[in-house]
Every structure is written in structure tokens, then in C-alpha cells.
Amino acid sequence: MRPPTVGFDLDMTLLDSRPGIAAAYQALSAEYGVEIDTALVVSRLGPPLTHELANWFAPGQVESVAARYRELYPGIAVAAAPLLPGARESVEAVRAHGGKALVVTGKFAANAQLHLDHLRLTVDALYGDVWGAQKADALTEHHAEIYVGDHVGDMLAAHEAGAVAVAVQTGGCTADELRDAGAAVILRDLTEFPGWLGEYVLDGRLAALDAALRELGSVLVAFSGGADSAFLLAAAVRALGPENVAAATAVSPSLPATELAAAAEFARGLGIRHLTPRTDEMSREGYRANAGDRCYFCKAELLDTVLPLAAAHGLARVATGTNADDAVAGFRPGIGAAAERGAATPLLAAGLTKAQVRAASRRWGLATADKPAAACLSSRVAYGIAITPSRLARIERAEAGLRSALAEAGIGVANLRVRDLGDTARVEVDAAAVPLLAAHPAVLAAVEGFAEVTVDPRGFRSGSMNDLLSRSAEQDRANG
């Protein structure tokens, strides 16, 4: 599913233009000596300016008065119009989903841009002086799939453009009028839009995931036990049925024993086969050397083990839990190894982010919805320090001991890592727990086997070892 392109009306959708428009009409009234009911004018905003002026001026005057209104408008109306509640957050929500935000309005384009500049509201495109079918043309040009407005004309434009018509009740139209005009969604105001958009995007990406899995026919999921691969397993069972799905959890010194037990329980709950092949990453020199590309050799070993396993069990494809965030997270050599071997990445194909995986997992009642990230034990070892079974066992004991000591001290943590820097262990816990740990130094005694134990004051950071790798590379470049 591609990121959403969302069009927004301006007056009474993004901003409250009533005070400024009333002031501009009052100026016209004084200048032309024509009595204008400004309260009535601002109660029916939406149609083009000339439509409203025709109610107060002779036909031969309308165009010249419209020109004068547009001259007066910048100095009178722009500063007087605030954003409506939720407007900025709604535009930001579109961007958060990787989408584009448009403003498509009947307002004179130059004046509409002045409003956006004054309010520091940045959009990807602005179309002014458009109404009805013209709005639909602008939406269609940008392949907008959603149009948000407050007027029945906005709903009609959305339908003509094939976009989802989302109405906000901040203008002069009633809910019944908006519904009759074709509103698919009616919100009280834009404060409700980010939440609605999140659900809309998630629904679309779940549908895309279901379609991608059905195309596979049957699948063996490389199942680490984490939130991503657990969700992928559950989605595969929904799409294909348990008889066409199996999980494979690789057993090796890099997998904590507790993770294997949890993975087995999760697979049993889905009613699927749970395979536990042994992998031998240690036999790969590139893995043992633990340079920056270690994950390539780990993933290569995993895929080289499970691909024939899938064939032996009559399963068409192997899939990994790579999500959309992983693909843009920078240095991920493991993703390259999996791609070289033809592994499917349904979560990535559907555009599902980590947050969306967790949201959908909560929706489905999966026990892994809020499970903290649990990367393999090798990820705790600083690059350049050789990976050995004894080193991984030391890390596993240290983390188990520290977690137990923290619990005894009444310090709850979701994320915990013991980073192996050689003779030194660097402890990372949730940032909120760092000062609590500092107040209980005896807890660190549970981290055994290291000459020195330190606490990272910045707290837990997924991929923090990659930060060290990046700094090392920068230093190498600086030294020429």
C-alpha cells in the first residue's frame, strides 16, 4: 500500500477564517456604502467569493468588487484567522505515515498561501480558486485518496475524484447534510483525524499483507519469537490456514533459552508446526570475526538452513519479519543476505511499520504486542571482538542475573542489554530507570564475568553498537 495523499479544504477545515472574512466584508460595506450581513456571510462559507458577492452587489459590480476584496484581504484577514484545533497535527499525521498533504480550496490562491505562511503550515501542494469539479481535478492529479472538508461541495468533489470523503463539522453544514452529500466519515473536528487516519492506513496495510500472503500459497516463517515475526505468523495463519504455515526458530548459542521456550508456546497457540533446526553461525568466519557485516553471515546461515527445510515440508516460500522501518534504518546487512536468497518480506511489502505491527498485534490480542525488542546475543558484542560460545553464554548469564536483581530491588524495566565491550560490560536499561539504577549500585554486582561494569546514561537504544561502528568509520575517514 502506497503512503496516503490527503487533500484538505482550507476555510473552516484547517483554519477559522470567519473573523478575517467578516472584517473584509465590513471594509467592503464601508467603502461601497452597501449594507452586508457579515454574520450571514460567514455562516455559509464554502462556495466561491463571487457567488457570495452576488447576494450583495449588482451583477456588473461583482468582478470588480471581488478584485477589491482580494486587495483588502491580506492586510485585514490573514492575521485574524487561527488554525482550527487539530489542524497542524492532522497535516503532521499525514507526513508521519509517509504521505503528502495538499490544500485544495476555493480561496484565491495567493491569499491562501499567505494564510499558510502566516501560520507556518507547510503542505506539499496548494490549489486555489477551485470549486466542485475543479477540486476533483486537483485531487485526481495528485492521486489523492482522501479529501477532508466541511462543506457538502467538498464531499461531492471527493466522490468525483474517487477519494474517501471525510467531513468535519466545523463549518456551516450539518452532519445530515454532509452524510447526504456522500461523506464516508464524519468527525467532530480535526482533533479526531490523526486517530482515524492511523486506523485507515493500518486497515489498508493489513489488507495488503493478507493479499501478499495469499499469493505465497504456503509459507515457512523464520520465527525469532519477536513481535514482528510473531505477528507475521499470526497473519499467515489468518490468510492461509494453519495447515499451510510453519514456524522455524533457529537454535544456536546466540538465541537465549527463554526466547526458544516463548516461541514454542506462541506457535502452539496458533496450532502450527514449530521447527527448531540448529544453525552453525560459528562455522562462518565472517560471523566469528564480528566485523560490521556480521549479520550478513548470520542471516545467510539461517536462510541456507531453513530454505531446504521449507521444501522438505512442502512449503512454497520462506518469509522473514522485516518491516518497513527496518528497510530505512540504515546499515542492515542481514536484509541483503535474505534478499539474495529469495526470502519473502510480506510486512515490508505491505508497508507495515514497527508501530503498526504492534498496533495490529494489540488489535488481534497477541501476547507479543508489547514485547520488548530481543535481538540475538551476538548483537551485544562490540564490533571487532570475536564471537565465541563462551562470550555469548557470559552475556546471557549477565542479563538474566541483572534482570533478577532489578526485580528484587523493585526496579521495573522493559528493555535491558548488557553490551560486551571486551573486559567492560556496558549496561543499558530504559532511560527512566537509569537514575534508579544509579541509586542502587549493588544491583550491578549481578553482572558477573567482567572486569568493569558501567551504565550508559543515555539509556537503552536499539542498534547502539551500530553507533560505535559509524563513529569508527568516521574516524577512519578522518585519518585518511
State whether the Cα torsion 197-203-206-212 is positive or negative.
Answer: negative
Asked if pLDDT for residue 408 goes beyond 90, the answer is yes
What is the pLDDT, as a whole number, of residue 331?
A: 56
Q: Output the CATH code of domain 18-76.
A: 1.10.150
Helix (H, G, I), strand (E, B) or coil at 162: coil
What is the pLDDT, as a whole number, of residue 238?
A: 98
Q: Calculate what percentage of the chain has a pLDDT beyond 90.
A: 81
- Please tell me the distance from the alpha carbon of residue 58 to that of residue 53, in angstroms, as a whole number: 9
Picking from 348, 327, 372, 375, the residue whose alpha carbon sits closest to that of residue 224 is 375
Equal CATH topology for 5-13+82-199 and 217-374: yes
Choose the weakest-confidence range: 40-44, 253-257, 384-388, 389-393: 253-257
State whether the Cα torsion 265-267-272-274 is positive or negative.
Answer: negative
What would the pLDDT profile of 46-95 be if each residue is shown by its tens digit?
788 899 999 999 999 999 999 999 999 999 999 999 999 999 999 999 99
Q: Calculate what percentage of the chain has a pLDDT beyond 70.
A: 95
Asked if pLDDT for residue 434 goes beyond 60, the answer is yes
Which fold, 217-374?
Rossmann fold (3.40.50)
Residue bearing the bigger pLDDT, 473 or 292: 292
What would the pLDDT profile of 285-312 be if each residue is shown by its tens digit?
999 999 988 889 999 999 999 999 999 9
Architecture per CATH, domain 378-479, reads as 2-Layer Sandwich (3.30)
What is the pLDDT, as a whole number, of residue 189?
A: 97
What would the pLDDT profile of 312-325 be if each residue is shown by its tens digit?
999 999 999 999 98
Alpha carbon separation from 424 to 173, 438, 454 (Å, rounded): 67, 17, 7
Residue 6: phi and psi, rounded to 5, are -120, 125
Domain 5-13+82-199: give its CATH superfamily.
Answer: HAD superfamily/HAD-like (3.40.50.1000)
What is the pLDDT, as a whole number, of residue 258?
A: 80
- Residue 122: Cβ within 10 Å count: 11
What would the pLDDT profile of 188-235 be if each residue is shown by its tens digit?
999 999 999 999 999 999 999 999 999 999 999 999 999 999 999 999
Grid cell listed for 387:
564471537
- Please tell me the distance from the alpha carbon of residue 28 to that of residue 65, in angstroms, as a whole number: 8
Asked if pLDDT for residue 45 goes beyond 90, the answer is no
Give the contacts of 227 (CB within 8 A, at least 6 positions apart): 354, 357, 358, 361, 368, 369, 370, 371, 373
- Please tell me the distance from the alpha carbon of residue 304 to that of residue 338, in angstroms, as a whole number: 9
Q: At 467, is the pLDDT very low, low, confident or very high (cuts 50, 70, 90)?
A: low
Residue bearing the bigger pLDDT, 268 or 255: 268
User: Average pLDDT over the chain, rounded to whole?
Assistant: 92
What is the pLDDT, as a whole number, of residue 479?
A: 42
Amino acid at the residue 286: G
What is the pLDDT, as a whole number, of residue 330?
A: 54
Asked if pLDDT for residue 473 goes beyond 60, the answer is no
Helix (H, G, I), strand (E, B) or coil at 230: helix
What is the pLDDT, as a whole number, of residue 474?
A: 42
Choose the weakest-confidence range: 115-124, 435-444, 464-473: 464-473
Asked if pLDDT for residue 327 goes beyond 70, the answer is yes
Instruction: Specify which residues 344 forms β-bridges with.
Output: 319
Check if the beta carbon of residue 194 is closer than 8 Å to that of residue 93: yes
User: Which pTM does this prediction carry?
Assistant: 0.83
Q: List the domain boundaries for the chain.
A: 5-13+82-199, 18-76, 217-374, 378-479
Give the contacts of 266 (CB within 8 A, at least 6 positions apart): 225, 230, 233, 367, 368
What is the pLDDT, as a whole number, of residue 476?
A: 42
